[in-house]
Structure 1
């Protein structure tokens, strides 16, 4: 994939939309906080929670207001309004996000059961499909003949719908599960959306600035903006939580952005030397959702082995483990930002540059730094224990 830089890309328009979403979200949080307290949408400390003081929820309402504000601006820009004219996918993402924000807001107030929330998530995924947001084709490393490094596997309508619903529900729950520390979900959402937006701009460049390819970058820019605008209110110590209304909004919009981006990946024939470059787009899609989906998978396995429901809460998520080994809340959150950023932006760099070796060295160094930074508290604790232990 070529590097970015063509003057035809509407980069300033995307920045304006993201900034508008951020500002609107930031300004709406104060009003939403008052409403949350007024109507009882407050997170009271529980045994598995990290916070110790009652904190208002419903931050997702402010974030959705930011999405609508950004969409209103995008509709007035000559370039980005084409995203609405050529496709209904942006509207589908907004409608699906609105549905999940409503379900999440009800859960934040009345504690809905897991089956009801799962039904809402599946319905929202179905809304995406109805508006054309659907997996239809992806690259596989086999087939394609002697001169090709692989081939495109075309999905049937039923297979595409099933895959889209499953991956969307998984990502929504992954973001919901990872939302356990102040600023964690908002920061991961901002990192993942920013990486997806950058990758989508690369796809747009390769498509010759085709308006059909505007959609994923626009959805990602909106999501990055609302997460960035919400973060100052939510970083430790948080004055408001996004609640399920916010975490599920991040999940559904990230699913919409990555799914629509997958539909713009060029699966042209290539020789074996270009396998890494051809795989890079799929690596990006995997990297941006790696942390939330890994946490979700570990939680399901852990709870199933314990004989409990996969949706039953516990205190053994990735962020809880970082706290247990000695990290503060802020340090744990920043470490997860680091892990997410290295994976997501490393994958993007792999996709938009030709120097694969340099990118892999950079990603390796970043991962090594993340591992060392994560292990420091444990090493310090062990060192202290060794000093006070009596010699035998």
Structure 2
């Protein structure tokens, strides 16, 4: 565990230092775009935070490569090289999009190339833990892997609309996934796949923690498309490293008594909010006859603001939804399934109430404008023929 903490701290410190330098340079040389109609912020803000995150991750991987404890991960250097090369492609595409606003086909092509690079070096789904263990045909595995990576990247990018949102959600979700992959590595035995997933997740958590101080509301620096797509790429890669290589039967022995569906359910749980927002956006845009990648101001975070939540409240609601689902699914590893379901159910009820609270306030205000005490007598229909004072319920 100490070595994972080490690379996490290195990633956080380097990212923070470079993010601060990026903010200063971007502000000095006015390296920021104009405000768009769909943007929530009102002050032009630099969007190159993803570059700082990438170099923080790169340095952390470099340090890890010199630690003998990670020997299994770096025994196949081609895989690590492919992950970092794919990350570089994504960052370059993201920066270009932030500067020149690329068309969606160009961005999609770059994402497919990056995902294909991962598959070429062996980061792909080869098994699916359904009904024991199912071998995925190579061609199908390639298509599923590329599709999953592209899907997750865009899903994460879609929710990147509020200060601190993506970074905070990633820390919570990846924290749960790190615990899972770390326990797998310890209980199932040494394996490069689970160690790789744990390393990627630890480094990603560090980069998000290091970036968050400059991205907290009001943000001085945005991660931009380069950062959001990078986060999605690494989250997808770590999930595929575990889900596509695990034998569920091995989880039923030893100390780790996990349900066989956890390898699939947990990645979906930690990506619940981004995937939900992505599906709603794509459906909405296709029904309107638009490109699924066209921008609009109807994402979930926009809707929370329109409901009446403050910027901070909307971000904390996203955090709470992510925490409830991710921690709830992870708890299947430690407590009886009934307790886990109870935790998830109670958590979802509480977060739903918090999410819909502004609607209840608006309803009360409509019924009682100005917040003055309701005059119940004024709501009673007047009695025909009665004096005016009696119609109003007056005591005079």
Give me the TM-score of the superposition, normalised by structure 2: 0.89
Give, in whole Å, the separation in 1 of the partners of 2:269 and 2:246: 16
Write the mapping of 1:284-363 to structure 2, written as runs, cut at 5 A: 284-350=266-332, 352-363=333-344
Q: Which residue of 2 aligns with 1:136?
A: 126
Give, in whole Å, the separation in 2 of the partners of 1:66 and 1:253: 13
The 1:155/1:264 distance shift into structure 2, 3 A limit, reads closer
Which of 55, 73, 77 is equivalent to 2:63? 73
Alpha-carbon displacement from aligned partner over 1:298-329 (angstroms, at most 9, x marks no partner): 00000111111111111110101111111001
Give me the TM-score of the superposition, normalised by structure 1: 0.89
Report the alpha carbon displacement of residue 62 of structure 1 after superposing the two structures with TM: 0.4
Query: Contact between 1:203 and 1:264, CA under 8 Å: does it hold in 2?
Result: no
Alpha-carbon displacement from aligned partner over 1:209-241 (angstroms, at most 9, x marks no partner): 344531000011111110111011001100011
Query: Contact between 2:124 and 2:141, CA under 8 Å: does it hold in 1?
Result: yes
Report the alpha carbon displacement of residue 194 of structure 1 after superposing the two structures with TM: 1.5
Q: Which residue of 1 aligns with 2:101?
A: 111
Q: Which residue of 1 aligns with 2:8?
A: 18
Which of 42, 47, 55 is equivalent to 2:32? 42
Report the alpha carbon displacement of residue 70 of structure 1 after superposing the two structures with TM: 1.1
Report the alpha carbon displacement of residue 384 of structure 1 after superposing the two structures with TM: 1.8
The answer to whether residue 145 in structure 2 is matched with residue 155 in structure 1 is no
Alpha-carbon displacement from aligned partner over 1:121-158 (angstroms, at most 9, x marks no partner): 00000011112110111122xxxxxxxxx232211111
Report the alpha carbon displacement of residue 368 of structure 1 after superposing the two structures with TM: 1.3
Report the alpha carbon displacement of residue 86 of structure 1 after superposing the two structures with TM: 4.5
Q: Which residue of 1 aligns with 2:75?
A: 85
The structure number with the bigger radius of gyration is: 2
Give, in whole Å, the separation in 1 of the partners of 2:305 and 2:113: 35
The answer to whether residue 367 in structure 2 is matched with residue 382 in structure 1 is no
Q: Which residue of 2 aligns with 1:147?
A: none
The 1:35/1:341 distance shift into structure 2, 3 A limit, reads same
Query: Contact between 1:86 and 1:212, CA under 8 Å: does it hold in 2?
Result: no
Question: For this pair of structures, how many residues does the alignment match?
Answer: 370
Query: Contact between 1:288 and 1:340, CA under 8 Å: does it hold in 2?
Result: yes
Query: Contact between 2:251 and 2:258, CA under 8 Å: does it hold in 1?
Result: no
* Residue aligned with 2:219, SS: coil
> What stretches of structure 1 move > 6 A for 4+ residues in a row?
none
The answer to whether residue 237 in structure 2 is matched with residue 240 in structure 1 is no
Unpaired segments ≥5 residues, structure 1? 1-10, 141-149
- What value does the CA root-mean-square deviation take over the aligned residues? 2.1
Q: Which residue of 2 aligns with 1:126?
A: 116
Q: Which residue of 2 aligns with 1:29?
A: 19
Give, in whole Å, the separation in 2 of the partners of 1:307 and 1:209: 50
Q: Which residue of 2 aligns with 1:279?
A: 261
* Residue aligned with 1:76, SS: coil
Query: Contact between 1:175 and 1:247, CA under 8 Å: does it hold in 2?
Result: yes
Report the alpha carbon displacement of residue 91 of structure 1 after superposing the two structures with TM: 2.9
The 1:259/1:212 distance shift into structure 2, 3 A limit, reads closer
Alpha-carbon displacement from aligned partner over 1:230-286 (angstroms, at most 9, x marks no partner): 011001100011000100000111111000011342232899xx9981112211011
Q: Which residue of 1 aligns with 2:374?
A: none
The 1:45/1:269 distance shift into structure 2, 3 A limit, reads closer
The 1:37/1:115 distance shift into structure 2, 3 A limit, reads farther
Query: Contact between 1:207 and 1:213, CA under 8 Å: does it hold in 2?
Result: no
Give, in whole Å, the separation in 1 of the partners of 2:126 and 2:320: 32
Unpaired segments ≥5 residues, structure 2? 371-377, 382-396
Alpha-carbon displacement from aligned partner over 1:166-205 (angstroms, at most 9, x marks no partner): 1111111111111011111111222222122111112112
Give, in whole Å, the separation in 2 of the partners of 1:263 and 1:39: 45
Q: Mean Cα displacement is larger for which, 80-89 or 256-265?
A: 80-89
Q: Which residue of 1 aligns with 2:173?
A: 192
